[in-house]
Structure 1
Amino acid sequence: MEQIMTYVKPELIVVTIVLYFIGMWLKQSQTVNDKYIPLLLGGIGIVISAVYVFATCQCSNAQEIALAVFIAVTQGVLVAGLSTYVNQMAKQLKKERMIRKNT
């Protein structure tokens, strides 16, 4: 996880937390099949990252725009991956505690 964190812009770490809570809400609402939640979180992460990247860059030519799109997509995928990772870690720790409690 630490290695992934080196690639995520520090300003976008908070998006990981936001995506985690969105994922929890989607799971509890049962409006979306569980297998689609990571895909939705990826899309939302890309959109939020794109808003940040385009708000902070001065894109004056096609190359800079292409770079901004690339950064937005990669950052969005990374923060969505981190939120899913955090969710899975919480589940595994909870499962481990239950196993210890029962033995």
Structure 2
Amino acid sequence: MMEQLMDYVKPELLIVTAVLYFFGIALKQAEFIKDKYIPITLGATGIIICGIWVTSTAHFAGAQDVLTAVFASITQGIVVAGLSTYIHQIIKQAGKEE
């Protein structure tokens, strides 16, 4: 499954997965946000970070380019946030004894 997800992530944005993973750990330890809101917070943060990358590397010649950048930012942000949550769950489950 991990390989399939990797097909959808731009290689330049893989580092965002690690950033979101550690940000999620920090949010969990800070306890100022409920656990159920951490995934949506990571998703929004991922979209913002990916949006910054997309707008800094894109050339906008028209409305279609802007909409393409918005789409890429949203989809990449969601995928990297999902990967960070997936990695967290793998680590969490690997530490459990059955």
Q: In which range does the TM-score fall when normalised by the shorter chain?
A: over 0.9
The alpha carbon displacement at 1:62 in A equals 0.2
The alpha carbon displacement at 1:60 in A equals 1.4
Q: Matched residues in 1 for 2:30 and 2:66: separation?
A: 37
The alpha carbon displacement at 1:3 in A equals 0.3
Q: How many residues are paired up? A: 97
2:13 maps to 12
Letter of the structure 2 residue corresponding to residue 68 of structure 1:
A
For structure 2, the residue ranges without an aligned partner over 5 or more in a row are none
Moved over 4 A (4+): none
CA offsets per residue over residues 35-87 of structure 1, 9 Å max, x none? 00000000000000000000000011000100000000000000000000000
- Structure number with greater Rg is 1
For structure 1, the residue ranges without an aligned partner over 5 or more in a row are none
- When normalised by structure 1's length, the TM-score is 0.92
Q: Matched residues in 2 for 1:7 and 1:59: separation?
A: 23
- When normalised by structure 2's length, the TM-score is 0.97
